[in-house]
Structure 1
Amino acid sequence: MKFAAFSGVFIDYSIQEAMRLTKRLGMDGIEIAGREPHLSAETSLPRVKEMKALADGLGLEIPVIASYAGGFSVMSDREAEKTFAEFQRMLHHAGELGAAQIRVSPGGPNAFLAQDYHYAKAAYWLDRCAAEAKAQQAEIVLEIHNGSLVETVESSLRLLGMLEHDNVGMIHDAGNMYITDTDYGRDSVLKLGDRLFHVHVKDELRIEKAGAPGTFVNLTHRGEESFLQCRLGEGEADHRPLFDALVETGYRNWITLECHAPFPPYERLEHDFHAVKRLLGRS
């Protein structure tokens, strides 16, 4: 397994400083957030090439571009065409940066509220994205995320089963799946099988009321609930079964750490990286 930092954790820093901090942490690569000040559809080609040169100079790989393009299921055709064009520009950036995967959002609503037409519309546009990516020998990754069509393994497999292209897979995210209140342990890994393309790691905690730093409110099948973003091992998303399953199944791809707990960015990623290595028996 290889480890990457999510540049969004360092969003208050330049992408150059985010890369330097990632290298200092001892990680193998950086997953670049597809929003400014790091990267966007409007980023110039010279600036993209500068990012690639810096990453190469630091010995960092760029496995994924975490684009925020998508949301097709709840868009008008005109809006979908516009975000598809944005995706195309981000895909070009991914090629320049040597990233083999680009994240796209299918859209919402929550899977338990979604209708058949939401899945049909998302599938149509995701297939168009996948065709463009395949021509570039790239993969599309959909993040299992609360509040979306793909907030459980079952809803993820439903959408994947509607696609013509096989270069679309899932980002497993135990923190998001804890929020959704769905299984994120061994069975989730086995069910995803070869459609598990990437893994995100972060911890979360259900709380009575939001308002303090690091808290937020989300709609789940229980209604509106409050959560606190935590460092790994300080919340309730038990990652042990996930990592045991990754070892069991021989997972050899990337794991991105993206802790957003209310601590300094470097400190929280350093904490989580040590925690992950302990889970894998590396420290």
Structure 2
Amino acid sequence: MKYSVFSVMAHDKTPEELIPMLKEVGYHAVEWRFKETPEEVRQEPTSFWRNNYCTIDPDISDQEIEEIKKMSEQYGIKTLSITPYLQDNIKDTEKVLAVAQKFNASFIRLGVPKYDRNEDFNQLFKNAKEYLKQAEKLCKQYGVKGLIETHHNTIVASASAAIRLLDGLDPQHVGVLYDPGNMVHEGYENHLLGLQLLGDYVAHVHMKNAAWVIDDSTKSDEVNWHVNWESIEKGIVNWDQVIKDLSTVGYDGYIGIEDFSQVDDTKNTLIHNFNWLQKWTENI
């Protein structure tokens, strides 16, 4: 297995700062966060999901793409994915695919509907299925695979939900970004079962961890819970077992670090995760 990093976790580093850092630590590839940053947000402190320095702007020029590609090639870091925050908009999807093709990226992340109880699941599913049929054709055209992510608060929180949505589509062109850390929030199924169920659709894996904790704001006899992000070795996901399960199904792709624990600074977090990855993959 090979190791990548989703740049969302390196919010205080620019792409030019992250690339040599990945090489120094030992990673093989990068997944670029792809999102516009409004001018008013740029005045804020850096953060994962708002003023994130390690983000590719959708308006990036061809010259800027070539500069990042040249630097990545210099350090031997593959651009694995261009990772946007798409909805089911096929025009926006094609724009991302065009940029991904210029980067020689393997993947983009496709859009799936959020689920918040305000819209009927069945209609959301129908719309998403139609979108994915169109996206599949574009992914084939551009030579970049489109992935849906197992993610809480969406209609594909679990492996079972993901395989139902992708049923009938070609796994050469669309697949699943399997994320056990997200499935702590919702969507948990035995990981080996889920990987066997998904089969050839498993294209990439994200590694992070989380745990349920009691909400301190509870002021009654009821107990409320929420999820906190944790270090990869301290959350609910047993990553040693997940990596063994990945090996069991013959997965030999990338494991992408996406650590939101904020236990340490960016570089030390990259080192910490790399060391744990090495330990666990040595056991398979």
Question: What range describes the TM-score normalised by the shorter chain of this pair?
Answer: 0.7 to 0.9
Give, in angstroms, the shift of residue 282 of structure 1: 6.6
Contact 1:4 1:29 in 2 (8 A): yes
Output aligned runs, 1:84-99, within 5 Å: 84-99=90-105
Indicate the percent of aligned positions where both proteins have the same amino acid.
Answer: 20
Give, in angstroms, the shift of residue 86 of structure 1: 2.4
Deviations 1:123-169 (A, max 9, x none): 11122222111111211011100011110111111101164775111
Deviations 1:1-30 (A, max 9, x none): 111011111122211111122112110111
Letter in 2 for 1:147: N
Contact 1:178 1:184 in 2 (8 A): no
**Inter-partner Cα distance in structure 2 for 1:161 and 1:250:** 21
Q: SS in structure 1 opposite 2:237?
A: coil
Give, in angstroms, the shift of residue 32 of structure 1: 0.9
Q: Tell me the residue number matched to 1:259.
A: 259
Change (3 A) 1:240 1:85: same
**Inter-partner Cα distance in structure 1 for 2:74 and 2:171:** 35
**Inter-partner Cα distance in structure 2 for 1:31 and 1:122:** 24
Change (3 A) 1:174 1:210: farther
Runs of 4+ with >6 A deviation: none
**Inter-partner Cα distance in structure 2 for 1:118 and 1:224:** 29
2:191 aligns with one of 185, 188, 191:
185
Q: SS in structure 2 opposite 1:62?
A: strand
**Inter-partner Cα distance in structure 2 for 1:17 and 1:94:** 21
Q: Tell me the residue number matched to 2:154.
A: 148
Q: SS in structure 2 opposite 1:53?
A: helix
Q: SS in structure 1 opposite 2:204?
A: strand
Q: SS in structure 2 opposite 1:204?
A: strand
Contact 2:160 2:194 in 1 (8 A): no
**Inter-partner Cα distance in structure 2 for 1:199 and 1:127:** 23
**Inter-partner Cα distance in structure 1 for 2:14 and 2:182:** 27
Contact 1:258 1:269 in 2 (8 A): no
1:67 paired to 2:84: yes
Q: Tell me the residue number matched to 2:109.
A: 103
1:204 paired to 2:214: no
Contact 1:232 1:271 in 2 (8 A): no
Q: Tell me the residue number matched to 2:75.
A: 58
Q: SS in structure 2 opposite 1:33?
A: strand
**Inter-partner Cα distance in structure 1 for 2:152 and 2:272:** 25
Letter in 2 for 1:43: I
Give, in angstroms, the shift of residue 241 of structure 1: 2.3
Contact 1:131 1:165 in 2 (8 A): no
Contact 2:150 2:156 in 1 (8 A): yes
**Inter-partner Cα distance in structure 2 for 1:152 and 1:68:** 19
2:60 aligns with one of 43, 47, 53:
43
1:244 paired to 2:261: no
The gaps in structure 1 that reach 5 residues or longer are: 73-79, 212-222
The TM-score normalised by the length of structure 2 is 0.85
CA RMSD of aligned residues (A): 2.3
1:169 aligns with one of 175, 178, 187:
175
Contact 1:123 1:162 in 2 (8 A): no
The TM-score normalised by the length of structure 1 is 0.85
Give, in angstroms, the shift of residue 208 of structure 1: 1.4
Q: SS in structure 2 opposite 1:105?
A: coil
Contact 2:34 2:56 in 1 (8 A): yes
Q: SS in structure 2 opposite 1:11?
A: coil
Q: SS in structure 1 opposite 2:236?
A: coil
Q: Tell me the residue number matched to 1:77.
A: none
Contact 1:41 1:86 in 2 (8 A): no
1:226 paired to 2:226: yes
